[in-house]
A and B are shown apart, each in its own frame.
Chain A
Amino acid sequence: MHANLIGLGALILVAGLLARFGRRMGLPTVPFFMLAGILLGPSTGGPVAFEHPEDLDILALFGLVVLLFHLGLEFPVEQVLGSGKRLYIAAGAYIGINISAGLGLGFALGWGAKEAFVIAGAVGISSSAIATKLLIEMRRLANAETPVILGIIVIEDLFLALYLALLSPILSGASSAGELLLRIGISFGYLAVLFGVARWGAKWIGKVLDSREDELVAIIMIGLVVLVAGISAEIGVSDAIGALMIGLVVARTSIRERAERIAVPLRDVFAAIFFIAFGTSIDVGEIGSVAVPVLIAVGMTVVTNVTAGLITARLFGLNQRGAANVGLTVLGRGEFSLILATLAIGAGLDERVGPFIALYVLILAVLAPILAANSKYLARIIPDRLLHDRWRYVREETISTACTHLDRINITETDEDECQECVELGDTWVQLRMCLTCGQVACCDDSKNKHATAHYEDSRHPLIRSLQEGDGWQYCYDDQTLVREPAGSSRS
């Protein structure tokens, strides 16, 4: 047996070092793995680590399988099912806009219908890993829009499974429409069977996998995962979906946490090899010929994402800052786009698809963190009217959500109907205001004692609302602005 260990080692080492260099500048890792593959691959000048990239195939395929297995394993079923209808609408809008724009672009390029479907997915489905890392690094975990962003990318992961189920039959080269429909039917039927196993059969799978020794759990689990992925590929559903679905199954067994712990290092190493292997298949000479379509695609992605961000913000009552953050955080493209590119290469589609997606992912990898970090500039130019469907006026002022203290609202209702301090003094008042942080009821500024403002000066609780029947406005002392109640805040 002869294996090119020197080449493999060099590739992985260079990929790791490149990615470390990128991380120092806050860039995602996946594009750097791919870049290592491109630089050391056979089609690029300079040192070549692998003369025959196909020698990497089995390792790369294993990487793809563990990557998707881990995705399924980590999929937060309960959190997604527990989230409201609004999140599904927002995610639906996000996916709908991005996929249809991608499909439009794909057909406009004129490379073919199959190619258009691959490009639609590659351009439309964002990288959950990149978005999550960005949120942590930009210290935005406590922001109001963050649960929404995470909800959207998680639903996108699920959409990926459905998209793959649709794409594999399309790529399989059915000769007639009937055959294509049959294959799509088989694909979704198989998906339904695996959903059923996840729902009702997890207990039995758990019994098969469970062992006191981690070593045995790891081996039996990986064997099962690879087998299911292989069977899926054999049926004509992609191996990727099989791996994802078996991940969902294992996530419902008793060994979930151990499985996660075991899968993470495997995923890290072998998924990296998958991205490297994809890179080695890219011909740098081709990249020049796709530069213009890629730039158009990048521009389009920014526009569609910002649009989806505005729709989401409107749905959830987020302010400008939230809208800009939603639109620009979900911009990163990575693992899923590369999976689709690999599928395209495997199916022998137009040779430009691979370089197109490679360059697209690379550009967005650099652009996404920069844009996300500077979302405040976008926030400044979003007009109020895009975010509010209900304009309400209080005297001459419009009600806006530009206030940044909405998270200080703890209480909005009270039974109190007098200003306690005025009662004690024996005074009267004109109107009543309620502090939304501690619930204190006090008199307004037209009253003699101005207790509400006095309360703000004491406590620095920024928000009050009018208790006047039919008024329904809130005011922020800190921002000196009238505010609308945030529709997106869920308090428990």
Chain B
Amino acid sequence: MGKGVRIQELPGLGTRYDVDLHSSSGERVSIVVSRDGKRHLYVFTAVGDDPAAVLELTEEQARKVGAVLAGTFFSD
């Protein structure tokens, strides 16, 4: 995987991708892609070790968000 993304297997559940945003405020994002297709999106700030936000996305929703984030979404 690309630089700054750590991959961690979660046995029986899926795979976790820890994305280091290299931001000065120390935010981190972890994404768990579970085997049933669900995506769990964890957002951490520099303060505290509990996630600041957690989103559970279906495959469909994840695609939508992902397309917008990746800049491949075109409205007609």
Contact = CB atoms under 8 A, between A and B. Distances in A.
A410 B44 contact: no
A154 interface: yes
Interface stretch (B47-55, B57-65, B66-74): B47-55
Interface in A262-305: none
Contacts of A458: 24
A185 to B, nearest CB: 31
A459 B20 contact: no
A108 interface: no
A136 B41 CA distance: 11
B49 A404 contact: yes
B24 A459 contact: yes
B10 A141 contact: yes
Interface residues of A, number: 36
A460 B25 contact: yes
A139 B54 contact: yes
B40 A141 contact: yes
A233 interface: no
A490 interface: yes
B6 A141 contact: no
A136 B40 contact: yes
Interface string A47-62: 0000000000000000
Nearest to B49: A404
Given A404-B49, A459-B24, A141 B42 contact: yes
A147 B10 contact: yes
B45 to A, nearest CB: 10
Interface string B1-27: 100101111111100101010101110
Contacts of B12: 74-76, 79, 128, 132, 150, 153-154, 157
Nearest to A410: B20
A492 B20 CA distance: 13
Given A136-B40, A408-B26, A410-B20, A142 B9 contact: no
Nearest to A155: B11
Nearest to A83: B11
- Closest 4 pairs (CB-CB, A-B): A142-B30, A404-B49, A79-B11, A154-B11
Interface of B: 1, 4, 6-13, 16, 18, 20, 22, 24-26, 28, 30, 32, 35, 40, 42, 44, 46, 48-51, 54, 56
